[in-house]
Amino acid sequence: MPHILLLEDDKRLSRLIGRGLLEQDMDVSFVYDGEKAMEMALSQDFDLIITDIIVPLKNGLDFCREIKALKPNTPVIMLTALGTTDDKLDGFDSGADDYLTKPFEMRELIARAKVLMKRFSLQAHTDQVLRYEQIEMDLKLKSVSRNGISIKLTPKEFNLMKYMLENPERVLSRSEIAENVWETHFDTGTNFIDVYINYIRKKIDRDFDNKLIHTKAGMGFILKRGYEEQQQ
C-alpha cells in the first residue's frame, strides 16, 4: 500500500483528499504546516508527497526545495490555487514533479499520483547513467556533466534533460514533453516549456562550440549533434 504525505492546512479539503486516496488503497498521513511536514518527511519514507504552497510556518515551495535536496527520489505533487505560469515555474523550480491547480478533479489527482509513483518506481530499476555525446547524467547521484565539467540543473531542468537524453535525435513536441515530463496536457496559452528549454540550453550548450539542443520550427525540440537548422 503506497504511503502518502499530505500537506494541506484546510482540514475539510484535507479530509476529502484523504478519503479519495484511501478509497484507492493508499495510506495517508495528514499534516497541516510546513515545519511538521519536514519533520515527518525526514523521519519516514513516503511513496509520494502532495503539498499546497500557502501553508503555515514553512511554505510549500521551501518545503519542497528542502525535501528534494535531501530525498530527491521522493516524488512531489503541488496542489494549489496559484495557477499562473510564473506560479508553475516557481513550483517546478522548487523541485515539484507535477503541479495541479485548485479546483481540481479527484480522479485527475489520483491518476497523476499513480503515474508519478510508477515512474519513480521504474526509474529506481533502470540504468543509472544516461549518455549522449559528451553529456553524462547519473540518475542515482542526480548529477550532470558535459565533457567532464559539472553542470548544475534544477530538479525540473534535470527531468527535462533526462527525457531528452532518453529520446536523442528525435523531435519532441511541446505536447509530448508536457505529458511526459510534467504529466499534464500542454496549455497553448503558456510558454513554460520553451522557458525551460532555454534554461537547459544555456547550461548545456553555452560553453561549447558543438550545440546539441536545437529548435525545430513549428514542431518542437531535438537533442542532436550537428543539427543543421538554426536555433530559435
Q: How distant is the alpha carbon of residue 18 from its chain centre?
A: 23
What topology does CATH give the domain 3-123? Rossmann fold (3.40.50)
**Regions in the chain scoring below 50 on pLDDT:** 229-232
| Contacts of 122 by beta carbon, 8 Å cutoff, 6+ apart | none
Give ranges for CATH 1.10.10.10 in the chain.
Answer: 129-223
- What class, spelled out in words, does domain 129-223 have in CATH? mainly alpha
Q: Phi/psi of residue 210, each to 5°?
A: -85, 100
Give ranges for CATH 3.40.50.2300 in the chain.
Answer: 3-123
| Contacts of 49 by beta carbon, 8 Å cutoff, 6+ apart | 4, 5, 6, 7, 37, 41, 64, 67, 74, 75, 76, 77
| 75 preceded by a cis bond (ω within 30 of 0) | no
Task: Decide: helix, strand or coil at residue 81.
Answer: coil
d(CA 188, CA 209): 32
Joined grid coordinates for residue 77: 505533487
What pTM, to 2 d.p., does this model score? 0.67
Please classify residue 173 by burial: count the beta carbons closer than 10 Å to its beta carbon, then call 0-12 exposed, 13-18 middle and 19+ buried. Answer: middle
What are the pLDDT digits (tens) for 90-133? 999 999 999 999 999 999 999 999 989 988 887 766 668 898 98
What per-residue confidence (pLDDT) applies to 121? 81
